Each structure stands twice: as structure tokens, then as C-alpha cells.
Structure 1
Amino acid sequence: MEPIIGQGTAGSGSMDGLIIDTTTQNFARDVLEVSRQVPVIVDFWAPWCGPCKQLTPILENAVKAARGAVRLVKMNIDEEPEVAQQLRVQSIPAVFAFKNGRPVDGFMGALPESQIKAFIARLVGDLGPSPAEELVAMGREAFEAGDLSRAAQAFAQAAQEEPGNPAAVAGLARCYIKAGDFDRAKQTLALVRPDARNDPEFTAAEAALSLAEKAADLGDIGELQARIEANPKDHQARFDLALALNARGDREGAVEQLLISIEYDRNWNEEAARKQLVEFFDAYGPKDEVTLSGRRRLSSILFS
């Protein structure tokens, strides 16, 4: 598969004015007046505030995804404390939403992306999927159909629409993993925005890359199966066979081999089979049927 990274990034011109910094002097103009035409979210923050550094990028991305339906105004309370004092802000980050010149909603503390999107939806209504979300959906459909080229193009376009989007980055990385280009998969994963490193799709793609790299130098499956038939307690052969089966797409078979190994000796090689099983579950995702059934069986073995 040809490299896709570096084919350009989305322009920022359409985002001009959506996100600005303000002062006490300009607050009425930037927030109160503008809020009579479009809802305005005000983010009160300070350079020393750790949670602010987590929240602000999420707010910015959510406002960009709203495609002009809402604005974001940021206010450094160390430099401009007066407005925050008038609003009786006790702690930061503190976020207020303004409509028609008045505060109508708000929250304090760093919230996850899903709750930020719900907060914006309360202000402006359901906006439907963003262009990036539509492209990610197209990419997933193409990937499931085995069309890696079309999937990669869709994921790459989604990443251009929303740089660092975890679903787009994860999808494109999986395309490279499937094509055996692990170096480009690593390069792609490095593009995720910092606040999204714990996103389930992103962590699943990281786990998938780790598994693919482990499986690259394994022996022949037939030889591994022969070793197990000769010695059912050959844990290394079962471990390698699980990786090989997973690389072929046989998730059930891969999980089964590790569960058998754990039943024989859960402490082998510092619990290597259990740890590898957890990595499988991370790669498959928490809602995958193999993950759900595998976790149930693992619990049954460990707590029997």
C-alpha cells in the first residue's frame, strides 16, 4: 500500500473566529454580543491548571466539529480575573455557555469528550455526524470489505478534516498493519492528538500493532501444533500458536490456546499467557464477542 501520511492537511481558514482569546475589556464584544447570533462557550483557565490543559483541547476539537454552530472564547483568569469573579467561579477549569447575552449552562472540571459533545448538543441541537465521522464510517466499511486502499484513503481524509482524530488515526494504522507496513503504522499512531491517547479505538490499534509485530517471526503453525500434540504442557508452543492464529484472524483459536495454558499453569513465565490474553482483549475491543466470552472464561479459571 502506498504511503498516505503527509499528503496534506486540512486548511484552517474555515475555523477563523471560532476559537479566540479575550480580555475583560473585550468580553462584552466577544461573548455577550456574539452570543445574540450564535451560542458562545467561555473557558476560564490558567497556565498552572493541569485539568485545564486536558479540557481545552477537547473543547477546541468539539467546537471545530460543530462547524460554526458554536464559538469558543478562552479567558486566562490570572491575567483577567474580573469576569470570573463576577460569575463567582470558585475553581477551574470552569466553562459557561452564553446565549442572547446571558449564561445558560456550564460545568466545572475536566469532562471527557462524550460529555463535552453532549454539552454542545444541548446548546445547538443534534448536528448529525461531522465530515470526519462520515469518512471514518466509510473507512470502516471498506476495511471490513477488505478494500484496504479505499479504507486508507477515507481514514486519511478524516485525519485531514480533524487532525489527530483517534478513530481516523487508528483506522489508518490498522490499514498499514493489515498491509504489513508496521513502520508506517507506528508513524500514523504518533499523529493522534495528545488528549486522545486513551481512546478505546486508539489503544486497540496500538495493541493490534504490538500483536502483529510479535507474530512476524513465528514458526510454522503445523510445527507448533505438532509440538503441542507431543507435549500438551509446552507453554511456549501454545503461546506462539496463539499469536500465529491471531495473526491469521482466528481469534477464538488464539484465545483458546492461552486459556488452556493458563489452566495448566497460570504462573508460567510470569503469567505471560494471561498478560497476552489481556493484550488480545485490548486489540479486539471491550464489546467484541470473543473478548466478552474470553473474559468470562478467564475469570472462571482464575477464581475457581
Structure 2
Amino acid sequence: MSGAVDLSGLKDRPQPPAAPTASTPAGDGSATGLSPVVDVSEATFEAEVLERSMQVVVLVALWSPRSDASVAFAGELESLALDGDGTWVLAKVDVDANMRIAQAFGVQGIPTVVAVAAGQPIADFQGVQPVDQVQGWLGQVLAATAGKLSGPPPVDGAEPEPEDPRFVAAEDALADGDLDGAEAAYQAILDAEPGNKQAVAAQRQVRFLARVQNVAPDAVTAAAAEPANVAAQLDAADALLYTQQPEEAFTLLIDAIRRYAGDDKTTVRTRLLELFELFDQADPLVVAARRKLASALY
């Protein structure tokens, strides 16, 4: 999104008692204390979107019953949300009945999907998109917010997992912008527990964030102007990934691998594999890119 979006006006209306969505009834398939899909109105927007987004990412899907395409797309998003098992929430908004929500987000067309975290919109797209692209985009959103939200509430009757103070220290350093401190904290965990998958994944994310801080704003343009410049290709891929364009980042490096030979080819391949590690290896974008990489290598 370009600029912050003011959602404060949607808090003005008196709120009815919140529906019991924080606790999922037995049998709906969610392993967390959240309902994966909720219908949201102006009256429930604050509780179901703003407050809920302090716990997990909320995808606000703005649709209209007048648009068959948006209705069908909302159904596809519901399937993704159910697969997510309450780790993120889909908030469906009928724009015809809730014009103030549409106006707050500056909606210019439907369907529009907006990711909200910590009470603020952080990413969005407009129009029907292929499911695999939505999954890739969502993966980036979840990666960007990892460790920054409180997480879903416990299921009724379950005791909440105590927070690991080592991870709390690392996440606090990350929240303060201390990337070196965050990496050191995660490394300390790995020194004690080399197989800690959570620390491995978090440290990879921190290292990527630290590296991308030094990438020039025109990195993609520069790489296109200097196709033989290996460093330029690596920077451009980082820039694309940081701006939530993973497929484009993967394609740029795979194309470079096809052009290069020897050490240059190895360098680019190594970076591509590092970028793959930032994702769930079952992510369709990663699976497709690995096939393309194999073709480029052999």
C-alpha cells in the first residue's frame, strides 16, 4: 500500500457484544483458538480485524454479491483459510453493505484483498489471482510478520504455551531494529540446540533483512542494464523478494544461471537456494522454481 491508511473512523460506532469467534467450536477443523473465516461488518470491524490483527494476520477480502468473480474468489480464499487452521484469519466484507470499510481502504475495484497486522494494512492486491500466487504472497506476509504478533489464543481448556525467553529476547531485538542483536540471539539458541527449526528459520529471515538493507532502490533496473554483473543480479533478486515478488526474484536468478558458467553460475545458484529456504519447501512457487532450476542446470 502507498502510505498509511486511517482506519480510526471505523471505531466510532457503538459496538455490539462480540461474537464468540475467539474460541472455535469443536469439529470446525481449527487447531487454534480462532475461527479461520469470519464475516465482518462496520459494527464488528474493530474487534474482528483491528484487535484480531494484534494476534495474527487478518486478510480482509472485500467482495460484492453483484460480482460473480469476487464471490468465487472469496470461496477460494476460504479454502486457503481453512487449510491455514486458524494461524491467520480471513475477514470477508460485503462492500455493498459496508461502504465505510471500502472507503477506508480506498478500494477501487473488487475483489480487493488487504493484509492487516498490528492494526495496520501492510500489503494488498486487487483482482482475482491464481491460488498459487496468492499462497506465495501470503507466505511473504506471514514471514514479514513472524514473531511480531502475539499469536492465536489457546483452544478452550488448553494451557497456553509459556514463551521461551530466548526467543522473546531475539524478537525484542528485531522489533527494535537491532538485526545484529537478533541474529546473535538466534545463534545462541542454535549453539545450545543445533536442531531448533524455529531458530534456524528465524535466523535466515534476519540475515536476509540485514542484507537487503544495503540494496539500492534501483537494483532491479541496474541488473537489467548489466546482465553480466553477478552482484547486480543478486541484489535485484533480494529487492524483488523484499517487495513481495518471489516468483520474479526466482525467475531472475534462474535466467542468470542459464547465462553464466563456472563460479558465477555456482554463486547465483547458491543464492537462489538460500532464497528458497525462506519459504515452506512445499510452497507451489518454490516447487515450480526448483523444476525450472533443474532445467536450467541440466
Q: Relative to total residues, which structure has the larger helix share, 1 or 2?
A: 1
Between 1 and 2, higher relative CO (CA 8 Å, sep ≥ 6) is seen in: 2
Q: Report the TM-score, using the length of structure 1 for normalisation.
A: 0.43
Structure number, greater radius of gyration:
1
